[in-house]
Structure formats: C-alpha cells, structure tokens
C-alpha cells in the first residue's frame, strides 16, 4: 500500500489510523532518512493508541515505553546500536513477542531479529513533487 501526503498533518493522521487499528503483539518497522517525518508519524501512532504524553525520539536509550494507552507502546530507535547483543541485553524478545505494540526506527540495522510478520513502513521524499510531499509505503497491511 502506498499513501502520499502533502503535509505533516496528513502523515500524522496516517500514523493515527495505524495506532487505532493496531492489535496486540504487532511489530512495525519504520524507515526513512533524517527529517522525512518518522517522529511525526510515530506521534500519530501514539495518539491513535490513546497516549497523550509527548513522544520524541529515544535516540539515547534504544527504547522508550509508554503504558498509558490502549496497549503498551514500545518505541525503539536502534540507530546507535553497536551489535545485536545489545538487543539481547535489553530483553527485546519480551517486547517483540509480547502483547504491546512495537515500532522500530532503523530496523534495517537489526534485520536478523525482526519478526517475519512485522509491518514495514518506509517514508520517502520526492522533491520533484514539492518540499512537503511524502510517499509512505506500507508492506504487510492491506488497508488503513
């Protein structure tokens, strides 16, 4: 599925719909260059799950946990991970195979441990279509 957005609000709303639909145990991977809208999208997901506290990038902690929503929300950013053993150390399996929702930024760096049924989301710019245009590709989900 491909969704095109014209501004940050629309990208937020795509995330929101995914958050509202998310079922226990679902893992989402989120890819895209710096400044493309990963945090905007993630904030939408969190809102869709009923989380009201502010969501930012967990860049220095690998994982940020939010418990106040409809389901626990685990936001990973593995950009600074040195080796896969660091994921073992934080006990990633309890998160990936638990009943909460996982959203993993830079998941390509830990590809070997991403569950097969993860839903893959990639956000891209296309400057020919304007500065605020984004193409959001979602694999593993039929509709929003």
**Residues 16, 18, 27, 39: which binds ligand ADP (CB under 6 A)?**
39
According to the binding rule CB under 5 A, does residue 11 interact with Mg ion? no
x/- map, 55-94, Mg ion, by CB under 5 A:
--x-------------------------------------
Q: Does 75 bind ligand ADP (CB under 6 A)?
A: no
Q: What residue is closest to ligand ADP based on CB?
A: 37
H helix intervals, the chain: 8-21, 38-48, 85-89, 92-96
Question: Binder to ligand ADP among 11, 26, 29, 64 (CB under 6 A)?
Answer: 11
124 makes contact with ligand ADP (CB under 6 A)? no
Q: Which run of H or of E encompasses 77?
A: strand 73-77
Encoding tokens for residue 94?
């309890």
Task: Decide if residue 134 touches Mg ion (CB under 5 A).
Answer: no
Q: How many residues does the chain have?
A: 144
Taking each helix axis from N to C end, the angle separating 8-21 and 38-48, rounded to the nearest 10 degrees, works out to 40
């Amino acid at each position: 599925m491909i969704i095109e957005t014209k501004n940050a609000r629309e990208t937020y709303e795509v995330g929101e719909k995914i958050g509202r639909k998310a079922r226990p145990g679902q893992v989402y991977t989120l890819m895209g260059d710096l400044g493309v809208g990963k945090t905007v999208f993630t904030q939408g997901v969190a809102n869709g799950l009923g989380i009201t506290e502010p969501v930012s990038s967990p860049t220095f902690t690998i994982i940020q946990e939010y418990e106040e929503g409809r389901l626990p929300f685990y936001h990973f950013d593995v950009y600074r991970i040195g080796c896969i053993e660091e994921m073992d150390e934080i006990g990633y399996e309890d998160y990936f195979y638990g009943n909460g929702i996982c959203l993993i930024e830079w998941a390509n760096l830990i590809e070997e441990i991403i569950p097969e049924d993860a839903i893959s989301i990639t956000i891209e710019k296309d400057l020919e279509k304007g500065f605020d245009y984004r193409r959001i590709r979602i694999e593993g989900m039929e509709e929003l």
